[in-house]
Amino acid sequence: MISEFLWVHRFLVYLFLAFLMSGLTIPILTNEPLKFKKVSFIYTMSFQGIATMVAFAGLVLLYAGHLSWDIYSMTMVLVWGVMIFIEVKKYRLIKYANLTHSETFAILKSGFQKISILQILILVAMIAVMVLKNSGIL
């Protein structure tokens, strides 16, 4: 049963990574400010949904598997919180910005991509740490 929980958690993490990588296309494909704002809202809500599924699956694995709260578990929770915080801040910036100015719109599109790349790097780093832990290197 624990192996199934682990598989689901791993699948959701990789689904989340694919979702983050697909988010890199949003600033490229949206050239209208109102459309960018709407797509950003949908992206943020989907982001939060998938991130919460990952966290829930991890917590179920932690408790069902009677695993301990080690530094890696705490780091995963911290990474989840940081990523949610960054995403909410990004969306609030886009939501309340005056996108009618072309410079503001260009800066926000660039910022969207940079933040998405940062989130991808954070997730990949956490995946790498867990792979190294499971292989016995850490």
Of 64, 46, 66, 56, nearest in space to 9 by CA: 56
Per residue of the chain (138 residues), give pLDDT as tens: 788 888 999 999 999 999 999 999 999 999 999 999 999 999 999 999 999 999 999 999 888 877 788 899 999 999 999 999 999 999 999 999 988 888 999 999 999 999 999 999 999 999 999 999 989 887
pLDDT of residue 50: 96
> By the 8 A CB rule, do 50 and 15 touch?
yes
State the DSSP H helix or E strand holding residue 8, giving kind and residue range, or none if neither. Answer: helix 2-23
Rounded CA separation 88/106 (Å): 20
Amino acid at 3: S
pLDDT of residue 103: 92
Burial of residue 93 (CB within 10 Å: 0-12, 13-18, 19+) is: middle
pTM score above 0.85:
yes
pLDDT of residue 26: 94
